[in-house]
Amino acid sequence: MGAIISQCSLNVLQQAAENLKTGGLVAFPTETVYGLGVDAENESAIARMYKVKNRPADHPVIVHIADLDAVDYWATDIPDYAIALMRDYWPGPMTLLLKRTEHAKDFVTGSQEMVGIRMPAHTVALNLLQEFAKLGGHGLAAPSANRYGAVSPTTAAAVEQELSQYLEPRDQILDGGASLVGVESTIIDCTKENPSILRPGAITAEMVEQSTGIIVAEPDDKKVRVSGSHKQHYSPQANVVIDGVAKAGEALIAMSDVETPKDVVRLAAPKNLEEYARVLYAALREADKQGIATVNIVMPEGSGLAVAIRDRITRSAASA
């Protein structure tokens, strides 16, 4: 099993980068959720990562990079509006879907002709990526560090709880504290004339339009596969009920102005959307930890980040 490393010194990050370069798996923090990192050009390492996650083989992964110079290695025919987005929101919780180069192999893209790229906004993640680049690495494939379809981890302890039995002794879990955003990155398709959002996140449609001056289009190709796009995802063991009435012995997640019924376990009472996103996954994991059978969730209203929160809650409640 991989051990949690809580002191992420330069020496530790250099060792982790060397581990990655020789095929190891390293779970590391980002501002969204924790990722399970492997060398994006090492097919056997990626195959083992898929096995650890129990992830479908045709499901693409996102390549994480440390600086803009690495984009051209992975992507080609990059539109001007994508460059504007990079300049405005990287490092940050945004993944851009771009036409791939020959370096982005089928085992990264899920055999699609496009590759997802992002630059995370977390000191540990960026320093690890920079150390990996010094060794000749070009990027890390890093889907969320959990079993496929389960609740994404936002702490190192959640990663250990989720994956320790599947990791080898050489694998590592880097502890960088709790993720500040708490939901996965916005995925933006930049392969067409207008950008379109394939997975909502903290970078909203309004922010994309402000950056690019271009109207965000509705996705016109439902066949494009991206991370977190399956109907049932982010699911705890507990049954998730949306906008129901919580009964005694059940649990509740809702904004702080929603009262807790008698004998109901209150898992989270966020005061704003940012806090809601940050605590959602931890609250779902806490329900399973307490053995609660049913979690009632009152979804937040509004636009912006609320769209991403509602997306995650809806998928967590969906049946297979």
Within 10 angstroms of residue 177's Cβ, the number of other Cβ atoms is: 14
Cα-trace Rg, the chain = 19
The 3-state DSSP class for residue 162 equals helix
Question: What are 31-56's pLDDT values in tens digits?
Answer: 999 999 999 999 999 999 999 999 88
Class level of CATH domain 239-317: alpha beta
**This prediction's pTM:** 0.94
Residue with tokens 């010194």: 9
pLDDT in tens, 288-306: 999 999 999 999 999 999 9
Is the predicted pLDDT of residue 230 greater than 60, yes or no? Answer: no
pLDDT tens figures, 73-127: 999 999 999 999 999 999 999 999 999 999 999 999 999 999 999 999 999 999 9
Domain ranges of the chain: 3-212, 239-317
pLDDT of residue 308 exceeding 80, the answer is yes
Query: Strand pairing of 265-268 and 35-39?
Result: unpaired
CA distances from 155 to 98, 121, 193, 202 (A): 30, 16, 38, 19
**pLDDT at residue 2, rounded to an integer:** 67
The per-residue pLDDT for 24 is 96
Distance of alpha carbon 150 from alpha carbon 53, whole angstroms: 10
Please tell me the distance from the alpha carbon of residue 120 to that of residue 290, in angstroms, as a whole number.
32
- Phi then psi for residue 122, to 5 deg, are -145, 130
Kindly report the average pLDDT of the chain as a whole number. Answer: 93
CATH of 3-212, one of 3.30.590.10, 3.60.60.10, 3.90.870.10, 3.40.50.300: 3.90.870.10
Mean pLDDT of the region 129-150: 96
pLDDT bracket for residue 180 (50, 70, 90)? very high
- Tell me the C-alpha distance between 40 and 22, whole Å: 12
Instruction: Write down the pLDDT at residue 248.
Output: 95
